Amino acid sequence: MKIKVGIIGATGYAGAELVRILAAHPNAELAALITQSYGGKAFCEVYPHLYKHVLMDCRELDIPSLVQEVDVVFAALPHGHAVPVAREIMKYGKKFIDLGADFRFNSKDTYEQWYKVEHADPDLLAQSVYGLPELYREKIKQASLVGNPGCYPTSVILGLAPLLVHGLIDTKSVIADSKSGVSGAGRGLSLGSHFCEVNENFRAYNVAAHRHTPEIEQELSKLAGEEMIISFTTHLLPINRGILSTVYAGLKQDINLDQVRSIYEEFYRGEFFVRLLPPGLLPQTKAVAGSNHCDVVPVVDRRTGRVVVISAIDNLIKGAAGQAVQNMNIMFGLPETTGLDKPGLYP
Amino acid sequence: MKIKVGIIGATGYAGAELVRILAAHPNAELAALITQSYGGKAFCEVYPHLYKHVLMDCRELDIPSLVQEVDVVFAALPHGHAVPVAREIMKYGKKFIDLGADFRFNSKDTYEQWYKVEHADPDLLAQSVYGLPELYREKIKQASLVGNPGCYPTSVILGLAPLLVHGLIDTKSVIADSKSGVSGAGRGLSLGSHFCEVNENFRAYNVAAHRHTPEIEQELSKLAGEEMIISFTTHLLPINRGILSTVYAGLKQDINLDQVRSIYEEFYRGEFFVRLLPPGLLPQTKAVAGSNHCDVVPVVDRRTGRVVVISAIDNLIKGAAGQAVQNMNIMFGLPETTGLDKPGLYP
Amino acid sequence: MKIKVGIIGATGYAGAELVRILAAHPNAELAALITQSYGGKAFCEVYPHLYKHVLMDCRELDIPSLVQEVDVVFAALPHGHAVPVAREIMKYGKKFIDLGADFRFNSKDTYEQWYKVEHADPDLLAQSVYGLPELYREKIKQASLVGNPGCYPTSVILGLAPLLVHGLIDTKSVIADSKSGVSGAGRGLSLGSHFCEVNENFRAYNVAAHRHTPEIEQELSKLAGEEMIISFTTHLLPINRGILSTVYAGLKQDINLDQVRSIYEEFYRGEFFVRLLPPGLLPQTKAVAGSNHCDVVPVVDRRTGRVVVISAIDNLIKGAAGQAVQNMNIMFGLPETTGLDKPGLYP
Amino acid sequence: MKIKVGIIGATGYAGAELVRILAAHPNAELAALITQSYGGKAFCEVYPHLYKHVLMDCRELDIPSLVQEVDVVFAALPHGHAVPVAREIMKYGKKFIDLGADFRFNSKDTYEQWYKVEHADPDLLAQSVYGLPELYREKIKQASLVGNPGCYPTSVILGLAPLLVHGLIDTKSVIADSKSGVSGAGRGLSLGSHFCEVNENFRAYNVAAHRHTPEIEQELSKLAGEEMIISFTTHLLPINRGILSTVYAGLKQDINLDQVRSIYEEFYRGEFFVRLLPPGLLPQTKAVAGSNHCDVVPVVDRRTGRVVVISAIDNLIKGAAGQAVQNMNIMFGLPETTGLDKPGLYP
């Protein structure tokens, strides 16, 4: 038996990546590809790499008919737009995995303060589970509504979790310097995504103001068991896929690299998707591009008393569509790596 | 039962792509990863994208022990080096698929003239089959020794084959203008592959002198049933993967686009890997990158009386490792798409 | 005394390149930067590389006031839009250099057929001079109205001119395969210029239908002294700047490389901007990026009886703004290289 | 009268950039282009963008003849190699500007500890001046021997100097996260500079161990008036030119953005090359590429009590050759911007 899947926002980059992954998923079946812009058009004309692989047409959203055909709906929509859709779909007893920000926060106030919109359904928000499987696997198993993590938060949280759980770092000292490829900004048109403006260029953006900041702080705080505030800066890389985060934190005690590596090893034992690289290697975006892996390496700098953690993910996979499918696998009792077990492409 | 595979030259880009594809192939098993430079080193330290996916170490070539462990050997070696290796390995009754130029030519003289080395075993050459499955599937089924086509030739030959078989073009008029990503030049170091020299740059190279010229001419001549000489120019694109060929030929008769498209449709009916794109789309390297597809579109230019054929492949897959695995599948009686049926990544 | 210059369309890429060149031109003075989208904004906030170099604000077009302040107007406007502006400005006796297509054609019919708009002032068209200085220097000296050549045509025409003037090639055999960086498509937003769609990608576009075709044919025909029809294909390179054209033509007689090179040497003797590279070198876009040079190298392929000419320009400079300034220098009696004599950047 | 200039290491990227800048410098004259690898070859065949601009041949180093021809020598050599050369050349009373690390340190011990070589002439080291004009202009005027700053240090020091001089930041809290284009690693061949390994990739390198760390600390300490230790991480960007540094520091007092901007404005008043961008703009590498500018913007993050300073330079110009020429101008009493007053290229 196959899980029947609907995707709302299927023609954005994250949506198209869901389509690619699910079209090859042995236990899933694409049932509906919903899009605002390309209704009626063959999906493979919008994304020709899938020609001969995906034969369906795009269609517009019609919830009553959609719920007849699917077991689960993925949504990749602008923030604020997923709430009413999720509410309707869940009324029919279908599961909902949101790739946007609408169901990631424990506090509606935090969401409203950073996203500048009112949250239309705080009760629904309260039912949602933050979909980072390495931390919340058990809750996800029971969940009907998952808020899939942001791309930057995935890289930063997985990078720091072992240190926070073991109480090794000064919680006031965390600085996360993150760099992302352009696909994170989506397929929509803007001068900031124009080829000539990005290519052979590098810049920071939204300094001290990026909306992923409170999401990261929420999760780090839960891991640390105390309120955390961090510095978080985002930069735009002239590449399509990949996030690399360089995270700095002051060590609270004298600890050497071997000890830190042991902690990471133990923390991520059995986690197929998180890879602590062997000594001598550092994460790089290309080594994870095309896969659901998160590569992590901590470095201890005894001169400064700080630890530097480097982590890398493919923002469209572990940072979006892949993690969403990982959540689906868990929600439906499938082996977690189903459809996600292949390495990426290099070079 | 799984086919046991050895790869000689496993740490070059084409070799590593063989490793990636075969590690996930349901009917193959990696038995030996042979390399000159990294003997004893874990393969995944040379290619960290395969960490947790490939657990083997690299080792140096020792034919007597190798032949005990494998059913088939792939070789990605500099020209001239595959001949003695193939001869030894075939003595033991093992199959051999050469990704280099040593077994692509019908005429030893042509090979020697363009590659400037003597062919060490013309008898062996006579037994080899040119491994372009869309043209030579039946012969490949019987073959023990396959010369896997060059990357540029694959793109040009598949682009022109329907026109030549139907005698539609002036055989003296063919001009193939091809553009390739840098991985085609391998992982070896040279100023021509230095990042700063290639990035934000574009140039032609080996004008009127590229070694793939006689290989293309050999195959086009067979299709046309007459000796053909073509103009062929290669260019270096600032991308990792992909070849796009723009091929021009004079039409011998008045024929319209619909008629030409019908001929392509019929010619490639049932060929999963060759995709005649729907009207309105043109091939692009990114739509095939990561897959074994060859996308083809003919355009009829009635003003000039010429047809322009555009074809695109991933040079490391349909232009090398993927096609080699396709050949292996045929040689061992497996469904041809086994291990090769996934689309590529976009963007 | 300085030439007072107005630029209409100053905030597009070609316009901004005019601003950059003219801000440093010893005999010119920027008098007005006209733009539709950024009226009132400081130019250097639209193009921060010019911060501290250009202090002017952008403003909207007001012809009566503009003509009081300028000696010459450059226009970088969509086709069809330059005609009424040029007519007004020329009434006041000011010179006009159009970077668009409105004044490039000898035949209004050709223009209308390919550009699908009516030409609003055929009389004005008849007064215009095609601004390719290496061919029309004397006419440009007398001109008040110059149609600055297209980027692709500049590369193809300069590449073939010596061969055509000497009657060496079969005029029916010409095929021009051109590749351009993305800045040629301007700063306007489109999916085709979105970073993720272009980066790591390569594709042909407008096959057998590009509007620069008739412009190239017009000029080649004049050089050949007979009507010429060519095949012309354009491709999009994942780089910002640069066009490389690979041009094929059948040789009418047996001629060797030295003879062909001598013809080029003589033809371009004294032309600072056209560089016949020394034997052993081939043009590459990076060697001309940032300069007004056109690098050219012919290769004779005796196997096929064809000559292959490779030419490279910076599409924004010799293909647009630089050539326009070269024309201005000629029109105002300045040394032709004034403000244009610097090499580009490498790497 | 023109300054006669010799360049040792002229065919590396920094050397070639010196050649380009000095060839167009109104008060300098290239007298000798010294290289180990290309002796006897025309310089413009090694760097064809300079064809028609630089007519000299490369030659090998012969100090006795060199000193007869030059007033000043620039050296771009591996560390350790400049010391003996400088000593010889200075014996003849010629000035020496070293682009390497041999003359940047106040303490021979620091140099030896980080560079793992003995310093062959500590007395000479004691005479050298650290060539950051914005900080040491008066000393450079008197200097015969200048140690030109490293590329990363230039970006970090200029970014933090105003804050340190005003005692605004916690000197123990500084973290500099820097990202550089590939040309900083030179034209030499290595797997790390191979196109396919860098393109579409991003990685950190030399974490907690980069040799520019002590150089930055030396200069920050002098500005702060106390010993400083910082965290410094370097990353490799898939671009040719440009460094962007994101620097974090804890604020010692409550201060708002306007106050911080005023301090920067005043500190860099009259400094043509350092640009505090207008509110709303952030530095980006492309806005400085091709110029000698350093763009700087501080951001105050009141949530975290930190200031984030972003600075950008062209690593080959303000980070190497341009700054070296700026030093030459100062040493010879020329206006500091001579030959360096042009903006870069965009896009």
Looking at the predicted structure, is the pLDDT value of residue D224 above 90?
yes
Looking at the predicted structure, is the pLDDT value of residue C332 above 90?
yes
Burial of C338 (C-beta count, 10 Å sphere; 0-12/13-18/19+): middle
Is-contact A242 A315, C-beta < 8 A? yes
Residues B234 and B309 in one domain: yes
Alpha helices in A70-211 (DSSP H): 82-91, 108-115, 122-127, 133-142, 151-165, 195-198
Q: Considering CB atoms only, which of D45, D275, D290 is closest to C52?
A: D275
Q: Is A133 left (phi over 0), alpha (psi -120 to 50) or beta?
A: alpha
Residues A110 and A183 in one domain: no
Predicted local distance difference test score (pLDDT) of residue C112: 97
Nearest to A193 by CA among C42, A201, A309, D134: A201
Looking at the predicted structure, is the pLDDT value of residue B286 above 90?
yes
Residues D126 and D273 in one domain: no
Tens-digit pLDDT profile for residues A260-272? 999 999 999 999 9
Question: Residue D141: what residue type?
Answer: K
Residues B243 and B124 in one domain: no
Three-state SS at A65: helix
Give the tokens for residue C123: 């009389």
Task: Give residue for tokens 């022990």.
Answer: B65
| DSSP 8-state class, residue C193 | G
Predicted local distance difference test score (pLDDT) of residue A243: 98
Cα Rg for chain D, rounded, in angstroms?
Answer: 20
ipTM score over 0.85, yes or no? yes
Q: Give B292→chain C minimum CA distance, Å.
A: 16
Q: Give A268→chain B minimum CA distance, Å.
A: 13
Supply the CATH number for residue D104's domain.
3.40.50.720
Interface of B with C in 87-106 (CB under 8 A): none
Residues D236 and D160 in one domain: yes
Predicted local distance difference test score (pLDDT) of residue C315: 98
Predicted local distance difference test score (pLDDT) of residue A85: 98
Q: Considering CB atoms only, which of A208, A282, A285 is closest to D299?
A: A208
Looking at the predicted structure, is the pLDDT value of residue C311 above 90?
yes
Average pLDDT over residues A244-254: 97
Strands C28-34 and C3-8: parallel
Please give the interface size between C and D, counted as residue pairs whose CB atoms are below 8 Å apart: 99
Average pLDDT over residues A80-94: 97
Nearest to B324 by CA among B14, B71, B31: B14
Q: Given pLDDT bands bounded at 50, 70 and 90, which one contains residue B1? A: confident
Q: Taking all residues of chain B, what is their mean pLDDT, rounded to a whole number?
A: 98
A109 inside domain: yes
Q: Give B240→chain D minimum CA distance, Å.
A: 5
Q: Considering CB atoms only, which of B182, B191, B238 is closest to D189?
A: B191
D196, D200, D203: best to mutate for the B interface, most B CBs within 10 A: D196
* Cβ–Cβ gap A49/B288 under 8 Å: yes
Which helix (H) or strand (E) segment holds residue A73: the answer is strand A72-75
Beta-carbon contacts of C215 under 8 Å, excluding residues fewer than 6 positions away, are C101, C104, C105, C149, C150, C153
For the beta carbon of residue D109, count every other beta carbon within 10 angstroms.
12
D115 inside domain: yes
A98 inside domain: yes
Residues B268 and B144 in one domain: no
Is-contact D133 D327, C-beta < 8 A? yes
Tens-digit pLDDT profile for residues A153-167? 999 999 999 999 999
Tens-digit pLDDT profile for residues A88-113? 999 999 999 999 999 999 999 999 99
Which helix (H) or strand (E) segment holds residue A58: the answer is strand A58-59
| DSSP 8-state class, residue A202 | -
Quote the percentage of chain C above a pLDDT of 70: 100
Q: Count up the domains in chain A and report the number.
A: 2
For the beta carbon of residue C303, count every other beta carbon within 10 angstroms.
13
Predicted local distance difference test score (pLDDT) of residue A1: 81
Tens-digit pLDDT profile for residues B106-123? 999 999 999 999 999 999
Which helix (H) or strand (E) segment holds residue D21: the answer is helix D13-23
- A contacts of B16 (beta carbons < 8 Å): 346
Q: Is C43 on the interface with D (CB under 8 A)?
A: no
Which helix (H) or strand (E) segment holds residue A46: the answer is helix A43-46
* Cβ–Cβ gap C194/A199 under 8 Å: no
CA–CA gap between residue B322 and residue B13 (Å, rounded) = 12
Residues C99 and C163 in one domain: no
D346 inside domain: no
Residues D325 and D306 in one domain: no
Predicted local distance difference test score (pLDDT) of residue C197: 98
A337 inside domain: no
CA–CA gap between residue C225 and residue C228 (Å, rounded) = 9
Q: Taking all residues of chain D, what is their mean pLDDT, rounded to a whole number?
A: 98
Alpha helices in C177-256 (DSSP H): 195-198, 212-224
- A contacts of B295 (beta carbons < 8 Å): 48, 51
Residues A251 and A273 in one domain: yes
Is-contact D290 C290, C-beta < 8 A? yes
Using CB atoms, list chains with 3+ pairs below 8 Å to chain B: A, C, D
φ, ψ of residue B74 in degrees (nearest 5): -100, 140
CA distances (Å), origin A226, targets A165, A172, C133? 11, 10, 72
Q: Given pLDDT bands bounded at 50, 70 and 90, which one contains residue B81? A: very high
Predicted local distance difference test score (pLDDT) of residue D126: 97
Nearest to D21 by CA among D318, D282, D265, D313: D318
Which of the residues of A are catalytic? 151
C193, C202, C210, C240: best to mutate for the B interface, most B CBs within 10 A: C202
Looking at the predicted structure, is the pLDDT value of residue D1 above 90?
no
Predicted local distance difference test score (pLDDT) of residue D53: 98
Predicted local distance difference test score (pLDDT) of residue C1: 81
Q: Is B346 on the interface with A (CB under 8 A)?
A: yes
Strands C243-250 and C231-236: unpaired
Q: Considering CB atoms only, which of C175, C235, C301 is closest to B208?
A: C301
Task: Give residue for tokens 């003995």.
Answer: D118
Residues A178 and A113 in one domain: no
C192 inside domain: yes
* Cβ–Cβ gap B187/D195 under 8 Å: no
Beta-carbon contacts of A20 under 8 Å, excluding residues fewer than 6 positions away, are A49, A50, A53, A321, B343, B345, B346
D43 inside domain: yes
Using CB atoms, list chains with 3+ pairs below 8 Å to chain C: A, B, D
Is-contact A85 A75, C-beta < 8 A? yes
Supply the CATH number for residue B270's domain.
3.30.360.10
Give the tokens for residue B102: 């040593």
CA–CA gap between residue C174 and residue B236 (Å, rounded) = 23
CA distances (Å), origin D173, targets A248, A307, D36, D164, D232? 11, 14, 44, 12, 12
Residues B170 and B303 in one domain: yes
Interface of D with B in 189-228 (CB under 8 A): 189-191, 193-200
CA–CA gap between residue D343 and residue C43 (Å, rounded) = 14
Predicted local distance difference test score (pLDDT) of residue C307: 98
Question: Residue C326: what residue type?
Answer: Q
Burial of A333 (C-beta count, 10 Å sphere; 0-12/13-18/19+): exposed
CA–CA gap between residue C191 and residue C100 (Å, rounded) = 23
φ, ψ of residue B255 in degrees (nearest 5): -145, 140
Q: Taking all residues of chain A, what is their mean pLDDT, rounded to a whole number?
A: 98
Interface of C with A in 281-300 (CB under 8 A): none
Beta-carbon contacts of A133 under 8 Å, excluding residues fewer than 6 positions away, are A140, A323, A326, A327, A330, A336
Q: Which domain holds residue B37?
A: 3-148+320-331
CA–CA gap between residue A200 and residue D239 (Å, rounded) = 5
Q: Considering CB atoms only, which of D187, D200, D239 is closest to B194?
A: D187
Across the beta sheet with C145-147, the strand order is C58-59, C28-34, C3-8, C72-75, C95-98, C145-147, C129-130
* Cβ–Cβ gap A282/D203 under 8 Å: yes
CA–CA gap between residue D263 and residue D207 (Å, rounded) = 32
Q: Given pLDDT bands bounded at 50, 70 and 90, which one contains residue C81? A: very high
Q: Per the residue annotation, which of D44, D151, D196, D294 is the catalytic one?
A: D151
Residues D156 and D185 in one domain: yes
* Cβ–Cβ gap B208/C244 under 8 Å: no
Nearest to A201 by CA among D282, C341, C26: D282
Q: Considering CB atoms only, which of C202, C233, C246 is closest to B204?
A: C246
DSSP letter string, B262-329: HHHHHHTTT-SSEEEPPTT---BHHHHTTSS-EEEEEEEETTTTEEEEEEEE-TTTTTTHHHHHHHHH
Q: Give C31→chain A minimum CA distance, Å.
A: 27
D233 inside domain: yes
Q: Give A183→chain B minimum CA distance, Å.
A: 8
**Which residue in chain C has the smallest CA separation from D286?**
C49
